[in-house]
Amino acid sequence: MPTSAFDRLKPLLGTPAEIEDGYLDLLGAADQAGPPTGLTQRLMRTTVLPRVYERYWRPALGRALKGPLGPGMAGEIRLATQLLDLQPGHTVLDVACGTGRFTRAFGAAVGPDGLAVGLDGARTMLAKAVAEGGPDTVVYLRADAVHLPFNESTMDGVCCFAALHMFAEPETALDSFARVLKPGGRIVLLTSARRAWQPARLIESAGGIVSGQKMFDRGEIAASLRARGFTGITERYAGVTQIVAGRLGRAPRIVGGGG
Ligand SMILES: C[S@@+](CC[C@H](N)C(=O)[O-])C[C@H]1O[C@@H](n2cnc3c(N)ncnc32)[C@H](O)[C@@H]1O
Protein backbone atom coordinates (compact mmCIF):
# COMPACT_ATOMS: atom_id res chain seq x y z
CA MET A 1 0.00 0.00 0.00
CA PRO A 2 1.48 3.45 -0.89
CA THR A 3 2.32 5.56 2.18
CA SER A 4 0.45 8.84 2.61
CA ALA A 5 2.18 12.20 2.86
CA PHE A 6 1.22 12.28 6.57
CA ASP A 7 2.94 8.92 7.14
CA ARG A 8 6.08 10.34 5.54
CA LEU A 9 5.86 13.59 7.52
CA LYS A 10 5.51 12.05 11.00
CA PRO A 11 9.03 10.48 11.24
CA LEU A 12 10.53 13.90 10.43
CA LEU A 13 8.97 15.43 13.53
CA GLY A 14 10.47 15.47 17.00
CA THR A 15 7.02 15.16 18.65
CA PRO A 16 3.91 13.09 17.92
CA ALA A 17 0.91 14.99 16.55
CA GLU A 18 -2.74 14.39 15.70
CA ILE A 19 -4.44 15.19 12.39
CA GLU A 20 -7.14 17.86 12.88
CA ASP A 21 -9.23 19.25 10.01
CA GLY A 22 -6.85 17.96 7.36
CA TYR A 23 -3.56 19.11 8.92
CA LEU A 24 -1.31 17.99 11.77
CA ASP A 25 -1.71 20.30 14.75
CA LEU A 26 1.18 20.81 17.15
CA LEU A 27 -0.22 23.96 18.76
CA GLY A 28 -3.42 22.52 20.22
CA ALA A 29 -5.54 25.12 22.00
CA ALA A 30 -3.08 28.00 21.45
CA ASP A 31 -4.54 30.55 19.05
CA GLN A 32 -1.23 31.52 17.56
CA ALA A 33 2.36 30.42 17.32
CA GLY A 34 4.74 32.36 19.57
CA PRO A 35 4.22 35.81 21.08
CA PRO A 36 1.98 38.30 19.22
CA THR A 37 3.84 40.76 16.97
CA GLY A 38 1.04 43.08 15.93
CA LEU A 39 -1.63 44.00 13.42
CA THR A 40 -0.47 42.02 10.38
CA GLN A 41 -0.05 38.77 12.27
CA ARG A 42 -3.51 39.26 13.83
CA LEU A 43 -5.09 39.85 10.41
CA MET A 44 -3.77 36.46 9.25
CA ARG A 45 -5.88 34.71 11.88
CA THR A 46 -9.18 36.31 10.80
CA THR A 47 -11.64 34.28 8.75
CA VAL A 48 -12.01 36.93 6.04
CA LEU A 49 -8.39 37.39 5.00
CA PRO A 50 -7.68 33.77 3.95
CA ARG A 51 -10.68 33.96 1.59
CA VAL A 52 -9.28 36.92 -0.35
CA TYR A 53 -5.58 36.34 0.35
CA GLU A 54 -4.36 34.53 -2.77
CA ARG A 55 -6.46 36.25 -5.36
CA TYR A 56 -6.46 39.87 -4.14
CA TRP A 57 -4.56 40.64 -0.92
CA ARG A 58 -1.15 39.09 -1.59
CA PRO A 59 -0.84 40.14 -5.27
CA ALA A 60 -1.95 43.72 -4.51
CA LEU A 61 0.13 44.19 -1.37
CA GLY A 62 3.08 42.43 -2.99
CA ARG A 63 2.95 44.77 -5.98
CA ALA A 64 2.78 47.82 -3.69
CA LEU A 65 5.81 46.64 -1.71
CA LYS A 66 7.87 45.28 -4.65
CA GLY A 67 7.14 48.23 -6.97
CA PRO A 68 6.40 48.00 -10.71
CA LEU A 69 9.63 46.17 -11.55
CA GLY A 70 9.37 43.40 -8.97
CA PRO A 71 8.22 39.89 -9.96
CA GLY A 72 4.50 39.05 -10.04
CA MET A 73 3.11 36.10 -8.07
CA ALA A 74 3.84 33.56 -10.83
CA GLY A 75 7.36 35.02 -11.09
CA GLU A 76 7.89 34.71 -7.31
CA ILE A 77 6.83 31.07 -7.34
CA ARG A 78 9.04 30.30 -10.35
CA LEU A 79 12.00 32.04 -8.73
CA ALA A 80 11.52 30.28 -5.38
CA THR A 81 11.32 26.87 -7.11
CA GLN A 82 14.45 27.61 -9.16
CA LEU A 83 16.47 28.98 -6.25
CA LEU A 84 15.58 25.91 -4.15
CA ASP A 85 16.71 23.76 -7.10
CA LEU A 86 13.85 21.38 -6.36
CA GLN A 87 14.29 17.89 -7.79
CA PRO A 88 11.98 14.84 -7.89
CA GLY A 89 12.10 13.11 -4.49
CA HIS A 90 13.11 16.21 -2.51
CA THR A 91 11.55 17.11 0.84
CA VAL A 92 10.79 20.83 1.01
CA LEU A 93 9.40 22.99 3.80
CA ASP A 94 7.28 26.08 3.09
CA VAL A 95 7.48 28.05 6.35
CA ALA A 96 4.48 30.35 7.06
CA CYS A 97 2.76 28.88 4.02
CA GLY A 98 -0.49 30.82 4.42
CA THR A 99 -3.06 29.38 2.01
CA GLY A 100 -0.43 27.13 0.40
CA ARG A 101 0.06 28.71 -3.00
CA PHE A 102 3.81 28.06 -2.93
CA THR A 103 3.43 24.69 -1.17
CA ARG A 104 1.23 23.36 -4.00
CA ALA A 105 3.77 24.44 -6.62
CA PHE A 106 6.57 22.80 -4.63
CA GLY A 107 4.49 19.62 -4.33
CA ALA A 108 4.27 19.47 -8.12
CA ALA A 109 8.02 20.14 -8.49
CA VAL A 110 9.15 17.34 -6.13
CA GLY A 111 6.92 14.74 -7.82
CA PRO A 112 5.27 11.63 -6.36
CA ASP A 113 8.37 10.52 -4.42
CA GLY A 114 8.91 13.93 -2.82
CA LEU A 115 7.18 15.75 0.03
CA ALA A 116 6.13 19.40 0.31
CA VAL A 117 5.29 20.48 3.86
CA GLY A 118 3.35 23.71 4.42
CA LEU A 119 3.71 25.03 7.99
CA ASP A 120 1.69 27.89 9.44
CA GLY A 121 0.40 29.01 12.83
CA ALA A 122 -3.04 30.22 11.70
CA ARG A 123 -5.92 27.72 11.66
CA THR A 124 -7.87 29.90 9.20
CA MET A 125 -5.00 29.98 6.68
CA LEU A 126 -4.46 26.22 6.95
CA ALA A 127 -8.18 25.49 6.55
CA LYS A 128 -8.11 27.39 3.26
CA ALA A 129 -4.87 25.64 2.20
CA VAL A 130 -6.45 22.23 2.84
CA ALA A 131 -9.62 23.27 0.96
CA GLU A 132 -7.51 24.32 -2.05
CA GLY A 133 -6.29 20.72 -2.44
CA GLY A 134 -3.17 20.06 -4.52
CA PRO A 135 -0.80 17.19 -5.29
CA ASP A 136 -0.83 14.13 -2.97
CA THR A 137 2.71 15.03 -1.93
CA VAL A 138 1.52 18.16 -0.11
CA VAL A 139 0.86 18.06 3.62
CA TYR A 140 0.10 20.81 6.16
CA LEU A 141 1.23 21.33 9.73
CA ARG A 142 0.21 23.90 12.37
CA ALA A 143 3.32 24.80 14.32
CA ASP A 144 5.61 27.66 15.29
CA ALA A 145 7.81 28.85 12.44
CA VAL A 146 10.42 30.21 14.86
CA HIS A 147 11.02 26.93 16.70
CA LEU A 148 10.55 24.36 13.95
CA PRO A 149 9.43 20.95 15.24
CA PHE A 150 11.51 18.92 12.76
CA ASN A 151 14.49 16.71 13.46
CA GLU A 152 17.87 18.00 12.35
CA SER A 153 18.89 17.71 8.66
CA THR A 154 15.52 16.59 7.34
CA MET A 155 14.87 19.12 4.53
CA ASP A 156 16.38 19.56 1.07
CA GLY A 157 14.87 23.03 0.86
CA VAL A 158 13.34 25.68 3.11
CA CYS A 159 11.25 28.56 1.76
CA CYS A 160 9.90 31.42 3.86
CA PHE A 161 8.15 34.13 1.86
CA ALA A 162 6.50 37.25 3.24
CA ALA A 163 6.74 36.23 6.90
CA LEU A 164 10.21 36.50 8.52
CA HIS A 165 9.58 40.21 9.33
CA MET A 166 6.43 39.15 11.22
CA PHE A 167 8.16 36.77 13.65
CA ALA A 168 8.98 37.83 17.21
CA GLU A 169 12.49 36.30 16.91
CA PRO A 170 13.61 36.26 13.28
CA GLU A 171 17.24 35.39 14.15
CA THR A 172 16.11 32.34 16.13
CA ALA A 173 13.93 31.38 13.15
CA LEU A 174 16.98 31.52 10.87
CA ASP A 175 18.85 29.20 13.25
CA SER A 176 15.89 26.87 13.11
CA PHE A 177 15.79 26.93 9.29
CA ALA A 178 19.50 26.09 9.12
CA ARG A 179 19.12 23.31 11.69
CA VAL A 180 16.45 21.43 9.71
CA LEU A 181 18.26 21.72 6.37
CA LYS A 182 20.45 18.85 5.18
CA PRO A 183 24.06 19.74 4.35
CA GLY A 184 23.92 21.24 0.84
CA GLY A 185 20.21 22.08 1.27
CA ARG A 186 18.90 25.37 -0.08
CA ILE A 187 17.05 28.27 1.46
CA VAL A 188 15.05 31.09 -0.11
CA LEU A 189 13.53 34.00 1.80
CA LEU A 190 11.38 36.95 0.80
CA THR A 191 11.19 39.65 3.42
CA SER A 192 11.34 43.40 4.05
CA ALA A 193 14.26 45.63 3.01
CA ARG A 194 14.34 49.28 3.97
CA ARG A 195 16.41 51.64 1.90
CA ALA A 196 19.56 53.37 3.15
CA TRP A 197 18.39 56.86 2.03
CA GLN A 198 17.39 58.56 5.30
CA PRO A 199 13.92 60.05 4.43
CA ALA A 200 12.74 56.78 2.82
CA ARG A 201 14.24 54.82 5.69
CA LEU A 202 12.29 56.82 8.28
CA ILE A 203 8.96 56.36 6.46
CA GLU A 204 9.62 52.65 5.87
CA SER A 205 10.62 52.11 9.50
CA ALA A 206 7.45 53.90 10.69
CA GLY A 207 5.35 51.68 8.38
CA GLY A 208 7.00 48.65 9.96
CA ILE A 209 6.22 49.82 13.49
CA VAL A 210 2.54 50.53 12.70
CA SER A 211 2.00 47.16 11.01
CA GLY A 212 4.06 45.24 13.58
CA GLN A 213 6.69 44.12 11.07
CA LYS A 214 10.45 44.37 11.29
CA MET A 215 12.17 46.33 8.53
CA PHE A 216 15.46 44.61 7.71
CA ASP A 217 18.33 46.49 6.11
CA ARG A 218 19.61 45.66 2.66
CA GLY A 219 22.39 43.09 3.09
CA GLU A 220 21.26 42.14 6.62
CA ILE A 221 19.65 38.82 5.69
CA ALA A 222 22.55 37.83 3.45
CA ALA A 223 24.95 38.51 6.34
CA SER A 224 22.76 36.46 8.71
CA LEU A 225 22.81 33.51 6.30
CA ARG A 226 26.56 33.78 5.80
CA ALA A 227 27.07 33.71 9.58
CA ARG A 228 25.11 30.44 9.71
CA GLY A 229 27.31 28.72 7.13
CA PHE A 230 25.36 29.41 3.93
CA THR A 231 27.32 29.95 0.72
CA GLY A 232 26.56 31.04 -2.87
CA ILE A 233 24.22 33.70 -1.50
CA THR A 234 22.19 35.75 -3.99
CA GLU A 235 20.18 38.89 -3.23
CA ARG A 236 17.42 40.50 -5.30
CA TYR A 237 15.90 43.80 -4.27
CA ALA A 238 12.59 45.27 -5.45
CA GLY A 239 10.92 48.21 -3.69
CA VAL A 240 10.99 47.47 0.03
CA THR A 241 11.47 43.71 -0.43
CA GLN A 242 14.42 41.38 -0.73
CA ILE A 243 14.66 37.81 -1.99
CA VAL A 244 17.74 36.13 -0.55
CA ALA A 245 18.83 32.57 -1.30
CA GLY A 246 21.76 30.33 -0.42
CA ARG A 247 23.04 26.82 0.10
CA LEU A 248 24.00 25.37 3.47
CA GLY A 249 27.63 24.26 3.78
CA ARG A 250 28.57 21.11 5.62
CA ALA A 251 26.89 21.95 8.93
CA PRO A 252 24.87 24.93 10.22
CA ARG A 253 26.29 27.40 12.75
CA ILE A 254 23.79 28.51 15.39
CA VAL A 255 23.91 32.28 15.85
CA GLY A 256 20.63 33.71 17.16
CA GLY A 257 20.26 31.73 20.35
CA GLY A 258 18.73 28.35 19.56
CA GLY A 259 16.60 26.42 17.10
C1 LIG B 1 1.79 37.15 4.66
S2 LIG B 1 1.52 35.44 4.99
C3 LIG B 1 2.66 34.67 3.87
C4 LIG B 1 2.07 33.47 3.17
C5 LIG B 1 2.89 32.92 2.02
N6 LIG B 1 4.20 32.47 2.47
C7 LIG B 1 3.02 33.94 0.91
O8 LIG B 1 4.15 34.30 0.56
O9 LIG B 1 2.00 34.34 0.38
C10 LIG B 1 2.34 35.24 6.54
C11 LIG B 1 1.95 33.97 7.26
O12 LIG B 1 2.82 33.82 8.38
C13 LIG B 1 2.09 33.14 9.40
N14 LIG B 1 2.81 33.33 10.67
C15 LIG B 1 3.14 34.49 11.28
N16 LIG B 1 3.86 34.24 12.40
C17 LIG B 1 3.98 32.88 12.50
C18 LIG B 1 4.63 31.99 13.42
N19 LIG B 1 5.33 32.45 14.47
N20 LIG B 1 4.55 30.66 13.19
C21 LIG B 1 3.87 30.17 12.13
N22 LIG B 1 3.25 30.96 11.21
C23 LIG B 1 3.31 32.30 11.39
C24 LIG B 1 0.72 33.78 9.32
O25 LIG B 1 -0.26 32.97 9.93
C26 LIG B 1 0.54 33.93 7.80
O27 LIG B 1 -0.16 32.86 7.23
What is the chain's pLDDT, residue by residue, as a tens digit (259 residues)?
567 899 999 999 988 888 889 999 999 888 777 777 777 777 777 888 889 889 988 999 899 899 999 999 999 999 999 999 999 999 999 999 999 999 999 999 999 999 999 999 999 999 999 999 999 999 999 999 999 999 999 999 999 999 999 999 999 999 999 999 999 999 999 999 987 766 667 776 776 676 767 899 999 999 999 999 999 999 999 999 999 999 999 777 778 754 4
User: Kind and range of the H or E element at 71?
Assistant: none
Give residue 248 CA to ligand 1 midpoint distance, Å.
23
**Does domain 35-248 match CATH 3.40.50.150?**
yes
| pLDDT at res. 169 | 95
Global pTM value: 0.92
Give residue 163 CA to ligand 1 midpoint distance, Å.
5
Choose the residue to mutate in 97, 164, 187, 243 for probing ligand 1, maximizing ligand atoms within 8 Å of C-beta: 97
Tell me the sheet residues that pair with 19: 24
Give residue 234 CA to ligand 1 midpoint distance, Å.
23
Domain extent listing, the chain: 35-248
| pLDDT at res. 74 | 96
Distance between CA 28 and CA 222 in Å, rounded? Answer: 34
Give residue 40 CA to ligand 1 midpoint distance, Å.
10
Choose the residue to mutate in 26, 57, 126, 166 for probing ligand 1, maximizing ligand atoms within 8 Å of C-beta: 166
| pLDDT at res. 203 | 74
Report residues whose beta carbon is within 6 angstroms of any ligand 1 atom. Answer: 33-34, 41, 44, 58, 96-98, 102, 120-122, 125, 144-146, 161-163, 166-167
| pLDDT at res. 200 | 67
DSSP 195-254: -SSHHHHHHHHHHHHHHT---PBTTHHHHHHHHTTEEEEEEEEETTEEEEEEEE-SS---
| DSSP secondary structure code for residue 189 in this structure | E
Starting at the edge strand found earlier in the chain, the sheet holding 23-25 runs 18-20, 23-25, 138-142, 115-120, 91-95, 155-161, 181-192, 241-248, 230-238
Give residue 1 CA to ligand 1 midpoint distance, Å.
34
